Amino acid sequence: MDKEKEAAGATNDGQYTNRQEPHASESRTNNDEGNQATRGPDFFGSTEGEAFSQSLRKTRQALALSEQFGWLYDFCLKIIDDDIVRIGEDNEPILPIRDLGAQEIGQHCRFAANDGHGWMVKPTGTPLLPFIFGRPLAEANEVHIFAEYWGPLTLYALYQNQQIETAITVIATRGFHAKNLAHLPIQDGPAIYLWPQNNDDGEGWSKRVIRYLGKNHPLSIVRIPRDFRGFMSGSKQE
């Protein structure tokens, strides 16, 4: 009797039914009748799957930025979501170049080189307008100007982490030039700080910034201890 019950198969309520597995020659799907086996949700390749993949990609990018620069994960995710920083297929950062109307006119892309990293502009010939992040310049109480990207973003992240309630705008000139700063609509009143690097390039850059902005705005220069190359330097200069 036990063998008969085992062959029949017990249901949850103790009743039995004649359950038989299909013969190897039988198919679970009868295509002739248009009946198909039930499938689970097709995540990958569907709209939901694409959204999931994109979310996972952003998470990985935010974690990579957080590990590299020490920024909080939420801040990294925000600048990716807000299209401030992009990560290319080669895992190198891409920063859009935008005009004063916030329209994208090109990209500033970092690439790996034998001696470190280099930067290129796409499309070729796009003017390197300043990188601006934070409050609109017309609302800023403080304006902090750097030559490179990571200093201003780090300073902005520090202000957020410390919950400093100041309308701050950070700017990068995207290199040691400064002439494009003259066209920025900086209002009278905000405190303007320059963050030069501790080398000849930094000294020349600060003089150029003063030449273009100092006529109309009072400027303050933030001096990093001479043992360090700059605000983002993690070790002392040799």
Q: Is the pLDDT of residue 32 over 80?
A: no
- Structure-token pair, residue 75: 């801040």
Structural domain includes residue 171: yes
Residue with tokens 């799907």: 29
Mean pLDDT of the region 30-36: 51
Model pLDDT for residues 130-184, shown as the tens digit of each residue? 999 999 998 999 999 999 999 999 999 998 888 888 899 999 999 998 888 888 8
Q: What is the pLDDT of residue 19?
A: 44
pLDDT of res. 65 = 87
Separation in Å, CA 53 to CA 48, 61, 116: 9, 12, 31
Question: Is the residue at 104 inside a domain?
Answer: no
Residue 91 lies in a domain: no
Q: How many CA atoms lie within 13 A of 115 on its CB side?
A: 2
- Cα–Cα distances in angstroms (integers) from residue 154 to residues 61, 70, 93, 98, 231, in the given order: 17, 8, 15, 20, 9
Q: Which domain holds residue 206?
A: 130-238
The answer to whether residue 21 sits within a structural domain is: no
Structure tokens at 101: 């109307």
Q: What is the CATH number of the domain that holds 173?
A: 3.40.1360
Helix (H) or strand (E) holding 58: helix 47-69
Distance from C-alpha of 42 to C-alpha of 191, rounded to nearest angstrom: 55
Q: Considering the domain boundaries, does residue 232 fall inside one?
A: yes
CA–CA separation, 223 vs 198, rounded Å? 8
Lowest mean pLDDT among 46-50, 107-111, 158-162, 204-208: 46-50
Domain presence at residue 78? no
pLDDT higher than 90, residue 224: no
pLDDT one-digit tens code per residue, 48-106: 777 888 888 889 999 988 988 889 999 999 999 999 999 888 888 999 999 988 999 99
Band of the pLDDT at 20, cuts 50, 70, 90? very low
Choose from 51-65, 117-131, 210-224 the range with maximum mean pLDDT: 117-131
Domain membership of residue 97 (yes or no) is: no
Q: Is residue 63 included in any domain, yes or no?
A: no
What is the model's pTM?
0.73
Number of domains present in the structure of the chain: 1
- On the 0-12 / 13-18 / 19+ scale of CB atoms within 10 A, 206 is buried
Token pair of 48, please?
Answer: 């939901």
b/e 153-192 (16+ beta carbons within 10 angstroms → b): bbbbbebbeeeeeeebbbbbbbebbbeebeebebeeebeb
Q: What is the pLDDT of residue 34?
A: 53
pLDDT for 6 equals 45
CB 95 within 8 A of CB 102: no
